[in-house]
A and B are shown apart, each in its own frame.
Chain A
Amino acid sequence: MLYHLGFIIVSLLIIVIPLLISVAYFTLVERKFMGSMQRRRGPNVVGFMGLLQPLADGLKLFAKETILPSNANIVLFVLAPIITFVLSLMGWIVIPFGEGAVVSDINVGILYLFAISSLSVYGIITAGWSSNSKYPFLGALRSAAQMVSYEVSIGFIIVTVVICAGSFNLSTIVLAQSKIWFIIPLFPMFIMFFISALAETNRHPFDLPEAEAELVSGYNVEYSAMGFALFFLGEYANMLIMSGMTTILFLGGWLPLFDIMPLNLIPGPVWFSIKLSIFVIAFIWARAALPRYRYDQLMSLGWKAFLPLSLGWLLFTVACLISFNWLPE
């Protein structure tokens, strides 16, 4: 019993600690990358090439005083960042980093992941409502509508992948791509999934919930110190998990680019990290390159373009697989 409990705790720590470190350095990569895109240097003062900047930022937020607004609903106000942060960590237990390198290889892994990513809207709504202030409330309303809209097309895209792989288990979905990655037959779905992932994580060009120019900072205006840090960590961990999901669903997870001699010597988790990093860079690139959408454009893209297109491609996929008797058992 004690051994079992110890095993669970150690395996969770093996996931959580590198995850938090990668989230911290994700912020540094983002600032450096955007700096180079905007022809400036980015952080370069704290430590060698600014390498200690994330630690300094974290320490600053940790040392600051937590301010609780006098009109806020204190319990929910404190709970909201915790919900966001915990939910962003929970998804990682089903992510396979390599063959068998997964904390819990459950049969409904993709459904679990979808459910967890949908629940994260509650953290934002709770924060917006409990702050008892107009900007956070408007930000939370926008966020709720946005996340619900894009989940619909994400759902159809996931169903298409599940039909091709014949399983909800993430490891099986990866192994079903051993002949070809799903990005080739489902290319339009891949593009839609990535754009929906941007919307689902409230990232540019869909960062309307925290549009600085209109809502100051959106749902987290009233937060400071650790509350703000938890939102920040949760947001970036969500981006990493969406990148991981894109890798697993479309880029063959831990599988090598080609199953030939020098490439298949590289360990699976390294392949997984390389592919995940490509999407992380794409998230930053989108932020540096694209202007913010207007709210009606965001809604019409979700409901009038992605929803019919994903539904259509789902039907096309099913028709193809049934016509040639290619459905998995």
Chain B
Amino acid sequence: MGGGPTTTHVTSGDLKKVVQDMPPAGGYPDVIFKKATINRGPDGWMIWVGSLLTVAFGFYRVGQCNLERNAAKKEKREARMAIVPYLQAEEDARAVAAKLNQDADEAEIMKGVKDWKVGASVYNSERFWAPPSPVEHPRA
């Protein structure tokens, strides 16, 4: 066991002898390596099953959340679709009132100009008329 260097006295006769470390009588005991491995934590299959269940639960919750969000989006879309005729009616009334105001202003401004037709379109064709849209003039 440890300690400093040991002194050996070698005589000339000893040099002819082969000096070699040999195993103890009866050989070394077996190395029991299995004893040295410490079994820590759960088994491998438990980790696999646990992970699979956790991931499955995660995907289930993501799916449920997505279904809820889809339903909320659908409700919002349908509510908008239901309200569109009312918004369009409001917008039509606003467009007519705006047009009448515009014509009155035009008549006032251009009253000195001979042969001026109030309310006439500046375009040659009426093919490209766009209906008044509630999106362009949204009501607060």
Contacts and interface: CB of A to CB of B under 8 A. Distances in A.
Secondary structure of the B contact surface, majority rule? helix
A328 B59 CA distance: 13
B79 to A, nearest CB: 16
A317 B62 CA distance: 11
Interface residues of A, number: 20
A327 B66 contact: yes
A14 interface: no
B116 interface: no
A179 B54 contact: no
Contacts of A328: 66, 69-70
Nearest to A321: B63
Contacts, number: 58
Given A164-B62, A178-B65, A179-B64, A184 B70 contact: no
A179 B70 contact: no
B55 interface: yes
B133 interface: no
B47 to A, nearest CB: 12
A176 B61 contact: no
Contact of B70 (A180, A324, A329): A329
Interface string A299-329: 0000000000000000001001100101111
A186 interface: yes
A329 B73 contact: yes
Contact of B66 (A182, A317, A326): A326
A184 B57 contact: yes
Contact of B65 (A180, A320, A324, A329): A180
Contacts of B55: 184-185, 187
Interface-centre pick from A166, A180, A317, A321 (highest chain B CB count, 10 A): A180
Contacts of B57: 184
24 contacts: A164-B62, A166-B66, A166-B69, A179-B61, A179-B65, A179-B68, A180-B58, A180-B62, A184-B55, A184-B58, A184-B61, A187-B54, A187-B58, A317-B59, A320-B59, A320-B63, A321-B62, A321-B63, A324-B63, A326-B62, A326-B66, A327-B66, A329-B69, A329-B70
Interface of A: 164, 166, 176-180, 182, 184-187, 317, 320-321, 324, 326-329
